Structure 1
Amino acid sequence: MTDPVSTLNALVAGFSGTMGVWARSLQTDEVIQVGASDDTFPSASTIKLAIFYEVMRQAGEGRLDLSEPRELRTEDKVPGCGVLRDLSPGIRLPLRDLATLMMIISDNTASNMCIDAVGIESVNRSMDELGLTGLRLRWKFFGAPAGQPVNAAVPSQLGRLMDMIVRRQVLTPEACDEMLRVMKQVQSPYAARYLPGGSQYDRPPEGPVIAAKFGSITGCRHEVGAVWKGGRGFVFSVMTKDCKDERRVEDNEGVLAVGRAVAILYRHFLEP
């Protein structure tokens, strides 16, 4: 069997920018770390996993009501991913639905409304309490002043957050299960590209099952998630930056690199 670390090292070496890979088996606890897995990257939308965590944490403590409607205002609307930017001001959606939009289609407006509900400092404080000090939410989406540090993540720490959720080591088992239920509906995860079925919609009933959150800004393509098949699974976090391919297309070099990395991990952890 080909050594996955050697194969991943070759993938990282051939990438035009910087790449970090972190993964952990849910059965053996084997950890694979390759490339810049402990370096800081612009988080793009992967920081939404930390926001989702904080929404569920505060709801579990009774500080937030997930069923409480939140009104969409004109000033809430921001560019980028999502549908709320194109809907009429004045509509009201439960916080639960805003969090779902944030995760499934990476809706930036919904994400900012979730941030308003929980607070930036609360997100960072919760990450600190988990020992994930490299996960930093500094601004709402499209709110960072020019020249200021952006929202940030570290591949290994992002992977550890996902690992804790999958293993139900944080919050409550019910909250973790709800987070995973939502993340299994994420549209077009990069991880699906080279796995059986090839997309979130075409995979065979026997699996694999993917729960994920991707992120994308110029020069960066990321994904954090988990893959299961046949009672086995693994958690992964793959991040890229400084990619020379700046096209916003499905075959962007970063998208392909993330998909190939997850496929290598899949063959190692889940195939006989």
Structure 2
Amino acid sequence: MARIKDAFADAGVTGLLHARDIDSGAELGTGADTLMSTASVHKVCLVSTVFREAAQGRLELTRQVEVAPERRTKGPTGLAVMLDPARLSLRDLAAQTVAVSDNTAADVLWDEVGLETVNRTMAELGLTRTRAVHAMRDLVASMVADAGPAGPAALVEPATVARLRVLDPAHTNHSTARELTALLAAVWRDEVCGGEHGELLRRVLGLQTWSHRLASGFPFDDVQVSGKTGTLPTLRHEVGVVGYPDGGRYAVAVLTRSASTAITLPAADAVIGTAARIAVDALRAGGR
């Protein structure tokens, strides 16, 4: 743990981490039970619920949904930046939600299943400290209100960041590093949903395009990283599963907060991969 804490300190962040061997149950962590605002990491809870609901016959993944331009949630990717009407299936909306962290696609799914269904699913899985408080549109609206008349430009001002409710786990979607790896382990062990639905869920969680955080710690062609980032002012997270060619499977959650309010902090992004690699190497060494 000392190496991980030193890595966080060198990158100018405070960090929470939990890693677990999905098959043996071996685990390690630092600050693993501390509540943290999850930002877009909570989309893993959302899409897991969508596929679980489908597996239980309460939702049809191939059902098409019209997403009109006026229905879209603000965001830098996906449907939010498109100008024309779109029609997608629920499973393709789930793919967009993970692949490019599409806020609009996520909100269509939030509307489909509801916050309480997501929270009930987490409770059924034993994740009692993982809770959704609002959909993405409400998270964005909270930030707009707290930023004030200066708008997004104010989100790099320390005084503005200090009053953002979305950074306080008491007022926003939240979880712990330990519970997030427990969720991922449940997905990979077919405990969220099995059979075809479990395979489809893992496929979706493997679609993320960003490689600058968790995946940066595992730059190998034969190591698969399935992850989901989360980003808010000063917060940079990623949770995911690292799969090795020898069959080893490791769920990792790295949740960080930077001292700097700058938007671009490459070291803060990269330390997520560094810390995850140290943790996974330790688990692999302990298992041999």
TM range (shorter): 0.7 to 0.9
Decide whether the 8 Å contact of 1:79 with 1:108 is kept in 2.
Answer: yes
In the alignment, what sits opposite 2:158? none
**183-192 or 111-120: which moved more?**
183-192
Counterpart Cα distance in 2 of 1:159 and 1:166: 10
Distance 1:194 1:170, change over 3 A: closer
In the alignment, what sits opposite 1:228? 243
Q: What is the aligned counterpart of 2:184 among 153, 162, 185? A: 162
**131-140 or 214-223: which moved more?**
131-140
Whether 2:2 is the aligned partner of 1:6: answer yes
Whether 2:231 is the aligned partner of 1:216: answer yes
Cα offsets for 1:69-127 (capped at 9, x unmatched): 11112332122242201224532111111010001111000000010110111111111
**178-187 or 207-216: which moved more?**
178-187
Counterpart Cα distance in 2 of 1:188 and 1:179: 18
TM-score, length basis structure 1 = 0.87
In the alignment, what sits opposite 1:191? 214
Whether 2:202 is the aligned partner of 1:180: answer yes
In the alignment, what sits opposite 1:56? 51
Superposed displacement of residue 38, structure 1: 0.6
In the alignment, what sits opposite 1:199? none
Amino acid at match of 1:192: A
Decide whether the 8 Å contact of 2:52 with 2:192 is kept in 1.
Answer: no
Distance 1:11 1:82, change over 3 A: same
Counterpart Cα distance in 2 of 1:118 and 1:52: 10
Decide whether the 8 Å contact of 1:67 with 1:94 is kept in 2.
Answer: yes
Q: Secondary structure at the match of 2:92?
A: helix
Counterpart Cα distance in 1 of 2:62 and 2:267: 38
Superposed displacement of residue 143, structure 1: 0.9
Superposed displacement of residue 172, structure 1: 1.6
Q: What is the aligned counterpart of 2:74 among 75, 79, 96? A: 79
In the alignment, what sits opposite 1:260? 274
Counterpart Cα distance in 2 of 1:64 and 1:13: 45
Q: What is the aligned counterpart of 2:29 among 10, 26, 33? A: 33
| Alignment length (residue pairs) | 257
Cα offsets for 1:197-253 (capped at 9, x unmatched): xxxxxx42xx11111111111111111111111221211111112x12333336152
Counterpart Cα distance in 1 of 2:41 and 2:35: 13
In the alignment, what sits opposite 2:91? 96
Amino acid at match of 2:191: Q
The answer for unaligned runs of 5 or more in structure 1 is 197-202
Percent of pairs identical after alignment? 27
Counterpart Cα distance in 1 of 2:267 and 2:115: 31
Superposed displacement of residue 185, structure 1: 2.0
Superposed displacement of residue 14, structure 1: 4.5
Amino acid at match of 2:106: S
Decide whether the 8 Å contact of 1:82 with 1:109 is kept in 2.
Answer: no
Alignment RMSD? 2.0
